[in-house]
Amino acid sequence: MKILLSIILTMMILAVSGCSTMQQEEEDEPQLIANKSNGKMAFWDKQKRGANFMNSTSLPENYKAAKEFNIEFIRLAPDKWAKDRDFLFNDKPDVHPERDFLIGSANEYEGIDEEDFAELEADLDAAYERGSKVVLTVLSLPGNRWRQFNHYENDDRIWKDTKYHEQSASFWRDLAQRLKNHPAVVGYNLINEPHPETATGFGDFWTEDYREWYNNVEHTAADLNELYKTIVDSVRTVDKETPIILNSGLYATPWAFEYLKPIKDDKVLYAFHMYEPYEMTSQNKRKGFTYKYPGPVVVGERQTEKVFNKNALEEFLEPVTKWSKQNNIPANRIIVEEFGINRLVEGSDKYMADLISIFNQYGWHWAFYAFREDTWEGMDYQLGNQAPNWKYWEALENGEKPNREEIEVHNPIWNVLKKELKGN
């Protein structure tokens, strides 16, 4: 009898020990159980469908409209609110501004600009009051002023001197300290579309060997992974909970995932943008409309013709799927932060529908560009696939916001987006 009891007791101990071992294995693999996260990270456990706010001023009323269309998160770039500042119209290309939005100055970070922060905080409060969640990104960092605010020249100082890495880390630490408890904020997107490649002799977008290029810049100021590690470590000294979102290199292209290194942090997501083939999606009246979707497009410096359809789009996105499998990154930790096409391009609705179908198939989060864009009507998808009616232009000439009820029309491309957003 004693022997039998001993055997039973031993089996019970082994069973409990086995459960503990399994539990420990799960704890050692946080990426594998990402769908069990807590706090703000839990927002990203299920696929989210969002939009970009890239307007030239804070427009709180747009949060209400976004909520009505079931847009689940907004990616906000408040830098563009500085569009009306005097330096943008300076006709001296060698004169740089001394004041950049929020960071004070891209020349030397010395602390957050209080006036700018108050404007940002008011906008985030408005988002929360209207039920919107926000991913906050920036277009400029110290040593890396946004090209459009830099006389349309790249500011590559951050890729040549690591002191700007440290200044960028200080900026994000300061910002995270202030925003870590804000209920609307569900992500810090550290920099929009980084491109260290352009500062270090990178060649043709379509043919260059990313791995070979990276081997030459690894552990230098041009190493995007080093910049990210520096900033993430700094943010986590004050905010351990808010998700951090990292763009791939070369303007957030999927191809640059080849050299992106995952961060050892279970509250990090990885993002890319999709406007390819750019030769097609960026067409406008000035450039002319040479291409339609689906169809052949001439791309790259070698002027290679490629046929673009849904299969070609899936092929273009393969670096992301390959990278996520190799690094054991689940689908709900990937975000397609921006994608879009000029709404006047023939087949634009089909292009958007095919892309979203692929994103949904993989289970990635996505955010189209853009919702009620006020600086480029080509991507204001509620205007239809024709030129806006005269009431749109009349309102702009009068310095007013166009009345949406007067200018919006039912149209193929917006119908695609409405259907997908409603599917939430």
Q: What is the CATH number of domain 47-422?
A: 3.20.20.80
**Residue 85: predicted pLDDT:** 55
3-state secondary structure 268-331: EEEEEEECCCHHHHCCECCCECCCCCCEEEEECCCCEEEEECHHHHHHHCHHHHHHHHHCCCCH
From residue 161, alpha-carbon distances to 148, 172, 231, 338 in Å are: 22, 18, 15, 29
Whole-angstrom distance, CA of residue 188 vs CA of residue 336: 15
Give the pLDDT confidence of 194-225 residue by residue, as tens digits: 999 999 988 777 878 899 999 999 999 999 99
User: Would you list the domain boundaries of the chain?
Assistant: 47-422
Is 86 a residue whose pLDDT tops 50? no
Looking at residues 76-98, what average pLDDT do you find? 63
The chain-wide mean pLDDT, for the chain, equals: 88
Give the pLDDT confidence of 317-361 residue by residue, as tens digits: 999 999 999 999 999 999 999 999 999 999 999 999 999 999 999
pTM, rounded to two decimals:
0.88
**Residue 249: predicted pLDDT:** 97
User: Which of 114-118, 132-136, 209-213 shows the lowest mean pLDDT across its residues?
Assistant: 209-213
- Give the tokens for residue 339: 């994608």
CA neighbours closer than 13 Å in the CB half-sphere of residue 111: 3
The H or E element spanning position 67 is: helix 61-68
pLDDT band at 18 (very low <50, low <70, confident <90, very high): very low
pLDDT band at 399 (very low <50, low <70, confident <90, very high): confident
Angle at 389 between CA 65 and CA 380, to 5 degrees: 40
Are 372 and 380 in contact by the 8 Å Cβ rule? The answer is: yes
pLDDT band at 378 (very low <50, low <70, confident <90, very high): very high
Whole-angstrom distance, CA of residue 132 vs CA of residue 117: 19
User: Which of 71-75, 269-273, 370-374 shows the lowest mean pLDDT across its residues?
Assistant: 370-374
